Structure 1
């Protein structure tokens, strides 16, 4: 079984099959989602102190903050050169 892994910046990797959506953090509903996730303890901050540029929502309701653009993550999801686990 092969699981595609996607680099979300600074050496952080997410399993592609677990990603539901990748969105920009600018809208009010996404800002509320981030705050609620932080309060519930289901937020993973993978920005290393940088500005949050994308929010990744997983199928297990974990919210991941990344410092790369959503377009970059989408391109990496479509790329065949990304990391795979054989």
Structure 2
């Protein structure tokens, strides 16, 4: 049950708690906290960050894919 998040990068769809848009001060704070704690995974390959994926493990994954697109892909993989 993998959700495609960029090129050859995938995340376990059933381990995703939230998919957030990358703009906003709360999301920037979450990103900063995850980086400081060593829980940040950058899956952007140098691209513009469009979403943050929060996993059940507490890890935060950066993605260039729009949150709506990731959500649609997750619904296909996991089901409604």
TM-score range, shorter chain: over 0.9
Q: Residue 75 in 1 paired to residue 75 in 2? A: no
Report the number of matched residues: 77
What is the CA-CA distance between 1:79 and the residue it aligns to?
A: 1.6
Q: Which has the larger radius of gyration?
A: 1
**1:25-36 → structure 2 map (5 Å cutoff):** 25-36=22-33
Identify which of 16, 20, 25 aligns with 1:19: 16
Match of 1:40 in 2: 37
Moved segments of 4+, more than 3 Å: none
With normalisation by structure 2, the TM-score equals 0.92
1:9 matched to 2:26 = no
> How many angstroms does 1:56 deviate by?
0.2
TM-score, scaled relative to structure 1: 0.86
Q: Which runs of 5+ in 1 are unaligned?
A: 81-86
Give the alignment's Cα RMSD to 1 decimal: 0.8
Q: 1:73 is paired with a residue of what secondary structure?
A: helix
